[in-house]
Amino acid sequence: MRSEKFGCFASETESKTKKIAFDIVLLFLLGLICIVSFLLLNEGFIALITSWGWTPREVLIDTANFWMWLLAVLVLAILPAVVEEIVFRGLLLKLFLRVGVVFAVIASSIIFAIYHLNWAQLVYQFIFGIILASIVVRTKRLWYAMILHFINNFIVITYTYIVGDTGTLAFNWQTIFIMFTVAIMGSLFAIAIVKSLSVKGEEKNRKAID
């Protein structure tokens, strides 16, 4: 009897581990989609306000050497992923959920975007905040949002370290079309991935129903 229970427990643990490992792969893929899809949309926003004569304050990551890159990963990827998620998704989102899910996701994302005090990142941070909040609401796992937040910042820092600043996007109708097409496709993929993530406690709930 004990061996059967142990075998069942081991099987459940293995299944849970595989699901979490698969979720982490999905989160990495989602991070890439966010960078490709929504940063392009954000670049379009920067190009728009630049065409109006307003030059936004854009913070460039100084990663002149490997040690600066390593410091940037610690300060701009690891720490924000933990601290900001605790504040915005762990505290604010939870507080706003008393009003409603949609309000909580949007309100926490707006505050998250404004918090960065950078118009150059406003659009991207708002969209990214919605994705992070949706993940926490969907999966009930705050650390999933931390992982995605880290992946996002890590990719940006590493790309800047390897490639450098690529300059400002040209703002024209072709750019607008490409920008929104990529953003829409990215949104569809992002929604599909978020829905594919496992939900905390779903196995227990299934057993209770069975």
Tens digits of residue pLDDT in 92-145: 999 999 999 999 999 999 999 999 888 778 889 999 999 999 999 999 999 999
The answer to whether 186 touches 30, Cβ cutoff 8 Å, is: no
pLDDT at residue 147 greater than cutoff 70: yes
CA angle 175, 32, 132 (to 5 degrees): 100
pTM: 0.81
Please tell me the predicted confidence (pLDDT) of residue 48: 75
Looking at per-residue pLDDT, the higher value among 12 and 80 belongs to 80
Tens digits of residue pLDDT in 15-46: 788 888 999 999 999 999 998 888 777 777 77
Q: Give me the phi and psi of 198, to 5 degrees please.
A: -70, 150
Looking at per-residue pLDDT, the higher value among 170 and 200 belongs to 200
Span 152-180, average pLDDT: 73
